[in-house]
């Protein structure tokens, strides 16, 4: 069982940057596959970026729309997941959710078990 709490959302102008954080509670954080998802009004939730657990040690995965602008990272000692967002665009406006699952496959399928409450990111033009 893991609980997730996001922070760092806010309003920014296009071209600006934000860093989202996701603090996790519970044991064995490093064994969880972690990811960021977002949902814009009237749109389906979409995967933004993911990091598989330490056992797999693969490169992060990104949605094409954020490749080169967003960077996902994790600090296993601090039990925290980050999303550094740069060169933000109005189309990045959404509620961003942190997610976790002990199974890499669940994260890759976009069906992680554990979710945070979400943090709003608004990008104005």
Measured distance CA(33)–CA(54) in Å, rounded: 8
**pLDDT of 1:** 86
Contact by Cβ (8 Å): 64, 111? no
**pLDDT of 107:** 93
Measured distance CA(17)–CA(105) in Å, rounded: 30
Can you give the pLDDT of all 125 residues of the chain as single tens digits? Answer: 899 999 999 999 999 999 999 999 988 998 999 999 999 999 999 999 999 877 766 789 999 999 999 999 999 999 999 999 999 999 999 999 999 999 999 999 999 999 999 999 999 99
């Amino acid at each position: 069982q893991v609980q997730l709490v996001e922070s760092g959302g806010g309003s920014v102008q296009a071209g600006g940057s934000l860093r989202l954080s996701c603090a996790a509670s519970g044991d064995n954080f490093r064994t969880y596959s972690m990811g960021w998802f977002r949902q814009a009004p009237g749109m389906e939730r979409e995967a933004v970026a993911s990091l598989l657990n330490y056992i797999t040690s693969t490169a992060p995965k990104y949605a094409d729309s954020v490749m080169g602008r967003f960077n996902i990272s994790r600090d296993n000692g601090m039990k925290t997941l980050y999303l550094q967002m740069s060169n933000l665009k109005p189309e990045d406006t959404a509620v961003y959710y942190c997610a976790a699952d002990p199974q890499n496959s669940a994260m890759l399928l976009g069906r992680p078990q554990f979710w945070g409450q979400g943090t709003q990111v608004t990008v104005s033009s």
